[in-house]
Amino acid sequence: MVAIVVPLVLGLATARGSWFADDLDLLVYGQRGFSPGVLFAPANDHIVPGLRVVFAVFAEFGDFSYTFTVVWRCLFLAADIFLLGSLLFRLVGSSTWALLGAAWYGVSPLLLQAFAQLSAGVNDVHAQFFALVLLHCAVDWFADHRRRALVLGPVALALVLSFWLKAGLVVTTALALGWIISRVGVRRRLVDVALWSVTMLVPVVAYAAVVLPRRRADTARWPGVEVELRLLFDSVRESVLMPFVGGPWTWTDTAPYGFADPPVVAQLLGAVVLLFLLVLTWRHHRAVLLLWLSAAVFVVATVLLVSVGRYFQFGDSLTRHYHYWSDLGLPLVLATVLTLHRALPWPTGGRPGLVASERHVPRGLPTRLVVPLVGAWFVGAVVSHVTFGAMWGQNPAPAYFATLADEVDEAGSPPNIWDTTVPTTIAPFINEHRRLGDILSVAGIDVRFQQPDGAPRVVDESGRLRPADFQVWATGVVPPDCGLKLVGAGTVTIPLDHPVPEANWYVKMAYLANPDARVRVELVDARDGSVSALTSHTEAWPSGLLTAYLNDPLAVVGKPATEIRLVSTDPSTSVCIGTTEVGLVEPTR
């Protein structure tokens, strides 16, 4: 029931949002299929072929339906909760702690934020699915010496790495868990650990051999020891302590992303609960300190990940973004459940687990202690979910795409529009794909871009179609009466009446062609020789007296230019060039 109800609730909340930010880049790549060049293309600075495969599946079978992606995430989250619950029952037997641990994992706000955004959700639910398979394999090996675990375990780790490199730290959790449940002497236990570690090296080495040569040049910068220590302290109080109190309760107002912003009382309560659990571990089951140590490894690695190469661009915001902390839930849940089961047994009958409880405790004692605490935690989690859900509902993408779809339907036939960029609230400046030409096919909206059969319209910030205002910045110096003609294979150059600086330039070029002409147009800076090829969105310029509409394909800022160059490789080309203008496009006021 937990594995069904929790994903259903999160899925209904997630459906209030839509694609934005990294989602759009990954969806565009997904349209390009399953070729190795696409699957191993960097996503930000990560090589994650598993992530690419899932987005290609979305394109192939889901037709990029947002509902399809929500259902997909719900199914994998349900599998994650079920795998964790079954792992806990293997460890502690028929104990209420196992059920509470599975529920805690599913309802924890650590997973909420990652699940809501598609790109983070695909990372996390898949990586944790295979991480849980790996933990089951560890139990098979260390408890029962099942040799299949030495094969399935490395396969599971390879799949973990293919979705989320940092989630590979689950190996430390597997080793800690294996040491705790092993039933053999220390010498044989060390042999088991060595064999397990060797098998785990196989996918790591294979991953490094395949991925490292494909990575982009590393431009990461170390922010310094002082910054790292501050980020570590902030991460512990704002993120690491929050699962223990259902926090963070409150979030920043940076909708729809949302960063943890817990009040001081939540931080203090989280510290008290964690300290209490550590004391119980020390008194009743010190071997579980290995699992707490595994959690500490996750914490340090996460702080390094979000600081080296990112701190100078994003500051400390990413340490409060729970996408980066969701995989911490596995070692925390395991350490907490094993500690409480050993110190405060709460059986419900049935078979025992691999980890026996330490002593008999009157049946009513855990109930009197735990029920109020669980209730308080649940209240905190509900507050966290509701406040995040309200913020997630402010995602501007659904309204933008819905408005544009309605405008296109009202137009009757696919409208002719300029290939402008989408608002930065939907696709920020760091996105590789920000243009409507890249994104609208993902959204299933049928339009035409910059066709020469009429003046293109423009999409405004709200998604409405508006007449376009072309603000001219420079004019091409073109002789009148077909004084500039491109005939056959060759090149002609049009000087601009003055240079244009870096900007997202568009070009209007009147022409007379017979027959259809294939022409490449480039913005050129004669001062340094830099060239930027323009996009025309037509395979050929149709014959007749028409206007070609072109744009710089760069999403944010194009290169400066002093002239326009036209290049033809077709011997049949015959084009007269008329009025040529370089400018910017915006909705008519």
Averaged pLDDT for residues 19-37? 83
- Please tell me what DSSP assigns to residue 310: T
- The region that residue 486 occupies, defined by phi over 0 for left and psi between -120 and 50 for alpha, beta otherwise, is beta
Measured between alpha carbons, how far is 544 from 461 in angstroms, rounded to an integer? 34
CA atoms within 13 A on the CB side of 336: 24
Residue 534 clears pLDDT 60, i.e. is over it: yes
CA atoms within 13 A on the CB side of 331: 27
Taking the C-alpha atoms of 229, 231, 232 and 237 in order, what is their torsion angle to the nearest 10 degrees? 130
Output the pTM of the full model: 0.88
Measured between alpha carbons, how far is 397 from 119 in angstroms, rounded to an integer? 15
Could you give the percent of the chain with pLDDT greater than 70?
93
Pair of tokens at residue 72: 């997909």
Residue 362 clears pLDDT 60, i.e. is over it: no
CB 210 within 8 A of CB 290: no
Measured between alpha carbons, how far is 528 from 67 in angstroms, rounded to an integer? 49
Averaged pLDDT for residues 359-376? 67
| pLDDT number for residue 363 | 52
pLDDT grade for 359, boundaries at 50, 70 and 90: low
**207 or 292: which carries more pLDDT confidence?**
292
Averaged pLDDT for residues 39-47? 77
Taking the C-alpha atoms of 234, 235, 239 and 240 in order, what is their torsion angle to the nearest 10 degrees? -120
| pLDDT number for residue 450 | 93
Pair of tokens at residue 484: 């500039």
Residue 422 clears pLDDT 80, i.e. is over it: yes
**pLDDT (tens digit per residue) in 151-183:** 999 999 999 999 988 899 999 999 999 999 988
| pLDDT number for residue 365 | 53
Residue 130 clears pLDDT 90, i.e. is over it: yes
| pLDDT number for residue 268 | 95
- List the one residue out of 565, 570, 495, 557 whose CA is nearest residue 533: 565
Measured between alpha carbons, how far is 243 from 270 in angstroms, rounded to an integer? 8
> Scanning the structure block, which residue is given the tokens 């730290």?
169
**pLDDT (tens digit per residue) in 387-398:** 888 888 788 888
**pLDDT (tens digit per residue) in 299-325:** 999 888 888 767 766 777 777 788 888
pLDDT grade for 24, boundaries at 50, 70 and 90: confident
| pLDDT number for residue 228 | 86
- List the one residue out of 323, 343, 207, 231 whose CA is nearest residue 281: 343
| pLDDT number for residue 374 | 83
3-state class (DSSP) for residue 247: coil
Query: 29-43, 246-260, 346-360: lowest mean pLDDT where?
Result: 346-360
Distance of CA 248 to CAs 238, 242, 467, 521, 523, Å?
7, 6, 46, 53, 51
Say how many C-beta atoms besides its own lie within 10 A of residue 385's C-beta. Answer: 18
| The residue type at 101 | G
**410 or 354: which carries more pLDDT confidence?**
410
pLDDT grade for 47, boundaries at 50, 70 and 90: confident
| pLDDT number for residue 320 | 77
| pLDDT number for residue 393 | 78
Bridge partners, 563 (sequence order): 495, 524
| pLDDT number for residue 21 | 80
Mean pLDDT over each residue of the chain, to the nearest integer: 87
